[in-house]
Amino acid sequence: MPQVMEFKLPDLGEGLTEAEIVRWLVAVGDVVAIDQPVVEVETAKAMVEVPCPYGGVVTARFGEEGQELPVGAPLITVAVGAEALPEAPAAEAEGSGNVPRPLIGYGTDHSRPARRRRVRPVTAEVSAPTAAPVTVPVPVPAAAPAAAGPAGPVPVISPLVRKLAKDHGVDLRALRGSGPEGLILRADVEAALSALRAPEPVAAPAASVAQGERIPLKGVRGAVAEKLSRSRREIPDATCWVDADATELMAARAAMNAAGGPKISVLALLARICTAALARYPELNSTVDLEAKEIVRLPAVHLGFAAQTERGLMVPVVRDAQSRNPESLSAEFARLTELARAGKLTPADLTGGTFTLNNYGVFGVDGSTPIINHPEAAMLGVGRIIPKPWVHGGELAVRQVVQLSLTFDHRVCDGGTAGGFLRYVADCVESPAVLLRSL
Catalytic residue among 188, 374, 414, 427, which? Answer: 414
414 catalytically annotated: yes
410 catalytically annotated: yes
Catalytic residue among 167, 168, 320, 410, which? Answer: 410
Whole-number Å distance between alpha carbons of 338 and 353: 19
Whole-number Å distance between alpha carbons of 80 and 94: 7
99 residue type, one letter: V
For the annotated catalytic residues, the residue numbers are 410, 414
